[in-house]
Structure formats: C-alpha cells, structure tokens
C-alpha cells in the first residue's frame, strides 16, 4: 500500500501537469480566433483565384496553349514518372490525433504507390521525422519546412510554392498530391488528399474544359501568357489557404486535447485525494487501536 508521502507527491505532480495542460489550452484558445479569421479572409481569394484560372482555361483555343510554363502545369508530362507528395503536419505534439491521422493517411498513400519513385515536400517536424524513419522505399525528401506554425504567413506559402514548382518542373514528375488537415469546426478536422498538379484533371472534373467561349473579353498580351503569369500566384494562394487550414486545425485539436487532459487530471486528483484520506483514516484507526490495546494491557 502506498504511503501518504507517495500519494502527496503523486498529487503534486498531477497538479503541475494540470497547470501545464490548462495553460496550453488557454494559449491555443487565444490563437484559434486569429487563425479562424485568417482562414475566413483567405478562402474567398483562393476560391476566386481558382475560378479565374478555370474561366481563363475555358477561354483558351487549341492554338493558344503555347506558353511552356502554363502548359507544363496543366498537361500530364511524365506518365509513370516520379510522384511528388506534399505532406503538411504539425511541428509539435500534444494535439490529440492530429498528427497520427495525417501520418496514417500518408502511410496509406505510400503503400498504394509502393514501387514508384517518390519525392516528398514536407511541412512540419512531425512529418519530416516520420519520413526519415521509413525504410525500404524509393523516397527522397526534396524540400522541408519546419518551425513555421503557429505563425504561418503568405511568405511561407510562396517559399513552399517555389519549392514545389522547382521539383515539378526540373524532375520527371507525373503528379503532385497534397495531404493536410482541413479545419471544419472546433471539434472536427478532416484529412484532405487532393491532386495539386497537373491542373487539367481538376479543370475537367468541373466540366470547364469544354465550356463555350464567351468572347466578351480581349486579352493583352495574350490568354496563354496571362495564364502562365497567374498560375504561380494561384498555386501560392491555394498553398496559403492549406497552411492556414492546417494551422487552425492543429490549434483546435490541441485545445480539445488539453481540455480533455485537464479534465482527466482533475478526476485523477480527486481520486488520489480520496485515496489519501482513506489511507490517513486507516492509519489513525490503527494508531487508536494500538493506544487502546496498550491501555488495556497496562490496566490489566
């Protein structure tokens, strides 16, 4: 049976942990509002940029598509070539199943593409460490970005976009797949596995490749040139929204996990306090019995 001293030390350590988890919960709660506002501000721009690219692609004639950059980002160039995975995780733990679910999704994607050459662009220390531990795969880390959360900004999205485009244009890459956590609500995050490049499949899935040309606008210097100039900005905008979604999802997951940890710590403290009181009561009862027994022995 544990002594009173051991129980008190246990209670003290649990209280210290509870203070830490409660402080982490409050920090995440203070940051989540700013992260939500950033998402709400970025989503309309990303959607409109997406629609602009789709509309402009729908305006292109067969002979207009001559710009090399635009064509490279839209058309499938290397069937059977290298696959590129962009994995966005957190830099730290203590956020529930946030990282675990992401790494499971990444592991499932890697299993599906076993035997293919894979180049990974990874955001977040947890994803980087996970990929470096993997063995038996034809996998290389083309670029890594760590330590940007919870202060991810557009400059990080631009750097990430430049790294992805460099890998995509300089290597024989077939496609670029994006895996990240999307923020749905304070209690819900959704794993998203999306095709980032090439863009043609994304356009055709929405049925915009065969849309009728409106002929309402004239373009200077040309449609293909304008599209080629807009595509890097479009990819940067989509990645910026991705980073903000992941950042808000991580903060929400951490706040929920720390709230549960604080609640569990309180319950554990209550249970240990009850155990301590019972132990102390048993010790007092034992001492009283010894005193009574000693008095009776002296009296006899």
CA dist., res. 55 & res. 58, Å (int): 5
User: CB neighbours of 178 closer than 8 A, spacing ≥ 6?
Assistant: 86, 88, 192, 193, 194, 195, 196, 242
Question: Do residues 234 and 49 touch, judged by C-beta distance below 8 A?
Answer: yes
Question: Do residues 98 and 250 touch, judged by C-beta distance below 8 A?
Answer: yes
**Of the residues 14, 70, 95, 244, which is catalytic?**
95
CA dist., res. 204 & res. 85, Å (int): 22
CA dist., res. 85 & res. 248, Å (int): 22
Helix axes 125-133, 98-112, angle to 10 degrees: 40
- Which residue stretches of 79-195 are H helix? 98-112, 125-133, 154-170
Q: Which of 13, 191, 178, 189 is nearest to 95 (CA)?
A: 189
User: Listing from the earlier edge strand, what are the strands of the sheet with 189-197?
Assistant: 139-145, 118-123, 82-88, 173-183, 189-197
Question: Do residues 102 and 197 touch, judged by C-beta distance below 8 A?
Answer: no
Q: Is 95 a catalytic residue?
A: yes
For the annotated catalytic residues, the residue numbers are 95
């Amino acid at each position: 049976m544990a002594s009173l001293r051991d129980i008190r030390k246990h209670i003290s350590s649990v209280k210290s942990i509870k203070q830490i988890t409660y402080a982490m919960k409050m920090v995440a709660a203070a940051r989540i509002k700013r992260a939500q506002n950033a998402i709400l501000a970025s989503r309309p721009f990303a959607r409109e940029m997406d629609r602009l690219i789709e509309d402009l692609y729908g305006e292109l004639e067969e002979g207009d598509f001559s710009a090399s950059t635009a064509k490279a980002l839209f058309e499938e160039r290397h069937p059977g070539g290298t696959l590129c995975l962009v994995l966005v995780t957190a830099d730290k733990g203590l956020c529930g199943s946030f990282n675990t679910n992401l790494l499971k999704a990444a592991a499932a994607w890697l299993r599906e593409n076993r035997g293919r050459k894979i180049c990974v662009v990874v955001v977040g220390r947890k994803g980087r460490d996970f990929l470096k531990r993997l063995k038996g795969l034809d996998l290389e880390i083309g670029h890594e970005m760590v330590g940007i959360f919870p202060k991810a900004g557009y400059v990080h999205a631009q750097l990430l976009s430049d790294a992805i485009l460099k890998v995509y244009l300089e290597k024989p890459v077939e496609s670029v797949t994006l895996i990240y956590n999307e923020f749905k609500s304070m209690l819900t995050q959704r794993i998203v596995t999306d095709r980032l490049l090439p863009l043609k499949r994304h356009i055709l899935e929405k049925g915009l490749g065969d849309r009728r040309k409106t002929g309402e606008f004239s373009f200077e210097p040309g449609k293909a040139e304008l599209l080629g100039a807009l595509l890097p900005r479009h990819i940067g905008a989509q990645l910026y929204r991705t980073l903000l979604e992941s950042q808000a999802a991580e903060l929400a997951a951490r706040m929920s996990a720390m709230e549960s940890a604080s609640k569990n710590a309180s319950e554990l403290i209550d249970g240990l306090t009850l155990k301590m009181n019972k132990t102390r009561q048993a010790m007092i009862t034992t001492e009283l019995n010894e005193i009574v027994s000693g008095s009776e022995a002296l009296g006899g």
